[in-house]
Structure 1
Amino acid sequence: MSESTPPGADAEPPRAGVWGRVRQVTEWGRAEADSLPWVGHLIHEWRRVEVVDRSLAIGAQGLLALLPMLVVVTSLVPDELGKLVGERFSDSMGLTGASADTVQTTVTQDVGSTIGFIGALITLLTASSFSRALQRMHARVHGLSTADASGWIVASLFWLAGFLAFLAAMAAVAWLRDDTGIGGSWWWLLVSLTVQTLFWWWTAHVLLLGLRPYRVLLPGAILSMIGTVALAGASDLFMPPYTNRYLESFGVLGLVLAIATWLIGFAGALVLAAGIGRLLTTIDVLPFRWFRYDAPPSAPAPHDLTPVEIHPTRRKP
């Protein structure tokens, strides 16, 4: 080394070694995923569907568009039904104590006389942004395009009506469970799970304009039911301390942040369920063979379980 060369000039910067190890771990992980077909296909599907982005978009629309619609709708229906919907909403998120009381008061407040008919109509139309975000997710999962908005928007509005009917049905099931003295029976759980599965099955069919057969959408509907039920069960454990702590620290803003977090988790469960459900329809093994679907020539074929292209990290020369 010449005298003009500073000592240690040829040495690798300290952080370069760290990033080099990160690249090695990344390449190793991708190589392992490529050797395990199911892991590789799951990674491919999650990247194609953009799970995180779709979950954030649906969760944000749920907070900004869906919740105001619930407030308006509960103010227009009989008080008893509005109270049941509010209780169902709080129970799904596992809210208790002050947070549950705040949500119950917010959802069941009478705003019909304040915003008027035009304001209520605008709020209901704005809520279609939530169903449109859900629709775009399902379309991307199944390789469809929503560029032609003529029928897609009508389907999203129609879904909102079905969603309100679903909330009323679940509130009725909860009322039968709690107020008729048969809460310990097994039948109410079976009815609840069946209603939820049918709703998510119908959701995918309506939002996709019937462009995919019912049998193709059944695995995703079952997984959506399992995911949302599991989320509701987990919410009973982690949401009460989480929401109460944020409510004490930030007031109503803390409750809004907690609800936004739950909605993003709820959206993530739906996105993962739809993606994995579609992947199950590509398996040529019983009993999944019944769910396989051969798209017509004019429609994009579903991604089959053929070798997945997982490109390794490009190395600089």
Structure 2
Amino acid sequence: MSEQPSEQPPDRRARRAARRAARWKQRSAALAGSARGLPEQVPLVGRALRQLLRVNLLDCATRLAAQAFLSALPALFVVAVVTPAAVRDGLVHSLRKELGLQGEAAQSVQQLLGTGHTDDAGFGAIGALMTLLSATALSRAMQRVCERCWELPKSGTRVAAWRWLVWLMVWLVCLVCQTPVRDGFGLGAWLGVPLTFLMATALWWWTQHLLLGGRVRWLPLLPGALLCGVAVVGIGVASRVYLPSAMSRSIGQFGPYGVVFTALSWLIVVFSGVTLAIALGRVVAEEEAVAGLLGSRTEPGRWGGARF
């Protein structure tokens, strides 16, 4: 008797491989079709995707992080130098907690913020004023993000100039007070987390209304503010777990420049969360069920450019 071949002929193996590839191709095409049809099946998802593509999330977050690092942080140092020791200590503590600064990095920041120049008070006042004015670049960038999310034209300089400085000063004050709030004024995270959420929600609600010049009423801005509160709490919890080790590794690899790299990366994450929250907040505010409660309905057939 002739023995059966132990291996299949090459042509049979090729046909089986071709059929297997065809089945995988059909499955992939079906999944792709389902993904393309998802925005039509779930309108909220479609509007959210269009909003994120139009806002350009990463570009906005990178611009905000760069402005915060190049203009707002120097203003923070200047404020710490010219303010009383209690304010300076609170600011150092906040930066150390937020950025996960330890060891040499924390000591460097302490020395930097504790170095004042009182020999020439006139020059110090002028320098502080110019630094604060230049720091309004962050306010302007934040205003452009809010306007892009709500598809509103750019505000005039006369209308917006004072808002930039007010927004910056309020956020500097909040940063000084942030650490006690996060710690629940010594009572722990069970109180600190809700307080942080409420403070962040209130601040971002006010931020949108201020920088948009009142062109959008308060209630339609509430979903974005609530999402900002969630983003701030989530990023804050994650930063306390991740940042100290990341900062230590970065300093070990790059020396003092490691603080720069890690801080800038952290700012990009923070502003990505904030931009995402504001952009999606508008989408939620225009949902049929929510729009009736908030009074944020737009004109029929238009998704943007209407008065809210």
Interval of TM-score (by shorter of Structure 1 and Structure 2): 0.7 to 0.9
**Conservation of the 8 A alpha-carbon contact between 2:196 and 2:233:** no
Once the two structures are TM-superposed, the CA of residue 235 in structure 1 deviates from its matched residue by 1.0
Q: Which residue of 2 aligns with 1:301?
A: 306
SS in 2 for 1:285: helix
Q: Are 2:133 and 1:125 equivalent residues in the alignment?
A: yes
Asked whether 1:219 is paired with 2:223, we answer yes
Report the residue type matching 2:173 in the other structure.
A
Partner Cα separation in structure 1 for residue 194 and residue 113 of structure 2: 28
Residues 50-61 of structure 1 aligned to structure 2 (within 5 Å):
50-61=56-67
What does 1:239-254 correspond to in 2, within 5 Å? 239-254=243-258
Deviates most, 166-175 or 235-244: 166-175
For 1:61, the aligned partner's letter is Q
Aligned to 1:80: 86
Matched, 1:263 2:267: yes
Aligned residues: 277
CA contact under 8 A between 2:184 and 2:190: conserved in structure 1?
A: no
Secondary structure class of the residue paired with 2:214: coil
C-alpha contact 2:101 2:247 (8 A) present in aligned 1: yes
8 A Cα contact 2:193 2:233, kept in partner: no
Contact 2:228–2:278 (CA<8 Å) still a contact in 1? Answer: yes
Counterpart Cα distance in 1 of 2:191 and 2:296: 34
Q: CA deviation at 1:200?
A: 1.2
Deviations 1:57-91 (A, max 9, x none): 00000110010000000111111211111211221
Q: Partners of 2:34 and 2:288 in 1: how far apart?
A: 29
**Structure (1/2) with the larger helix percentage:** 2
Q: Larger radius of gyration, structure 1 or 2?
A: 2
Structure 2 stretches lacking a partner, 5+ long: 1-28
- Cα offset for 1:32? 4.2
Percent of counterpart pairs with the same letter? 29
CA distance in structure 1 between the aligned counterparts of 2:32 and 2:108, rounded to whole angstroms: 46
Task: Go from structure 1 to structure 2 and tell me whether the alpha carbon gap of 1:36 and 1:186 turns closer, same or farther (over 3 Å shift).
Answer: closer
Contact 1:138/1:204, CA 8 A, preserved across alignment: yes
Aligned counterparts of 1:92 and 1:163: Cα–Cα separation in 2: 14
The 1:210/1:108 distance shift into structure 2, 3 A limit, reads farther
Superposed, which structure 2 residues align to 1:1-317 within 5 Å? 29-110=35-116, 116-146=124-154, 148-171=156-179, 173=181, 177-178=185-186, 183-184=187-188, 186-285=190-289, 289-294=292-297, 300-301=305-306
Q: TM-score, normalised by structure 2?
A: 0.79
SS in 2 for 1:127: helix
Taking structure 1 as the reference length, the TM-score comes to 0.77
Contact 1:198 1:221 in 2 (8 A): yes
Hey, what's the Cα distance between the residues in 2 that align with 1:59 and 1:200?
17
Distance 2:124 2:267 in 1: 28
Q: CA RMSD in A?
A: 3.0
